[in-house]
Structure 1
C-alpha cells in the first residue's frame, strides 16, 4: 500500500466520520437573513416555529425544513412577533390561515378527539373480539356427554359386574 492509497483511505474515513456525526445533529434551516436582531423575539420565534409543522415535509418543523413554504411561515411568525402579537396570537393566526394540520401537537378538541381516541378504541375492540373468539372456541371444544343406548348400558353393567 502506497502513501497515496493511505491518504485516500484516511480522507474517506474522515469524510465518513463527518457524515455519521453530522447525521445526529438537528437540521436547522433558518437563514441568516431571517434571524431577528432582538434576541428575545428571536427566541420566541424559534419556540413557536418548533411547534409548527412544514406542510410539505410533514414530519419536520418549519425550523428544520428547507421548503419555501416553511421559510414563508418562519418569516410570517417573525413578522407577527415584530408587529407585537403574543405567542398565542401568532399560533392562532397561523392555525386560522393554514388549519390545525400545521401544529406539531394538534389540540384534543372537536373532531380531533376521535383521532386521539382511535388507538385506544382499536385496542379495546381488538381485545373484545379476541376474548369473544376464545370463549366461543372454548365452548365448542368442551366435551359433551352423550347418553348411552340401552345396549351400551347393558354392556357397561356387564363389565362392571366382572
Structure 2
C-alpha cells in the first residue's frame, strides 16, 4: 500500500506544462519563441518556477503578455527587457553575470578556494608540528607531584 501511495505522490510531483491551449499562438514559429521565453522568465509570485511551469494567475497573465508582445513584432531580447524593466533582474531565470551579479557569481567558487586554502594550511601546519609526549611532566609538575605523594 505504501508503494502505491509513494508512486502516486511521485506522479503528482511531476511538473506539468502550464500553458493552456487557448494561450497558444496559431503561428508555430511564434509559439516556439514564446515557449522558449516562458522558460527564461521567472514567476514573481512563485519565485522558484518559470512562467512555463507555474499555474499562478500572474504567470498566466505573463504568458499571455509574452505572446501579445511577440505578435506586436518585438524581439526576444525586447520582451525580456520589457519584463526586466518592470520586475528587475530577478525575473530572469538565469541572471546576467555582469555588474553586481558578477560578485554573486564569483562568490561561491571564491569561498571554496578560500576554504580549501585554509584547510590546506591547517593540515600542513598540523603535520609539521612536533607531537608532544602524552605522559611527560615539566620539572615543576614532577616536584609538585612528589610533594603530594609524600604527604
Q: 1:59 aligns with which of 37, 43, 48?
A: 48
Q: Match for residue 69 of structure 1?
A: 58
Q: CA deviation at 1:137?
A: 1.9
Structure 2: runs of 5+ lacking an equivalent: 133-151
TM-score, normalised relative to structure 2: 0.74
Q: 2:108 aligns with which of 99, 109, 119?
A: 119
Q: 1:39 aligns with which of 2, 25, 28?
A: 28
Larger Rg: 1
CA RMSD of aligned residues (A): 2.4
Q: Match for residue 157 of structure 1?
A: none
Q: Match for residue 106 of structure 1?
A: 95
Q: 2:76 aligns with which of 84, 87, 90?
A: 87
Go from structure 1 to structure 2 and tell me whether the alpha carbon gap of 1:30 and 1:135 turns closer, same or farther (over 3 Å shift). same
Q: CA deviation at 1:141?
A: 2.6
> Using the alignment, how far apart are the partners of 1:106 and 1:57 within structure 2?
17
Matches within 5 A, 1:135-150: 135-141=124-130
Q: CA deviation at 1:17?
A: 6.3
Q: CA deviation at 1:58?
A: 2.2
Q: CA deviation at 1:113?
A: 0.7
> Using the alignment, how far apart are the partners of 1:57 and 1:112 within structure 2?
22
Go from structure 1 to structure 2 and tell me whether the alpha carbon gap of 1:127 and 1:68 turns closer, same or farther (over 3 Å shift). same
> Using the alignment, how far apart are the partners of 1:19 and 1:87 within structure 2?
37
Report the secondary structure of 1:141's partner residue.
Answer: coil
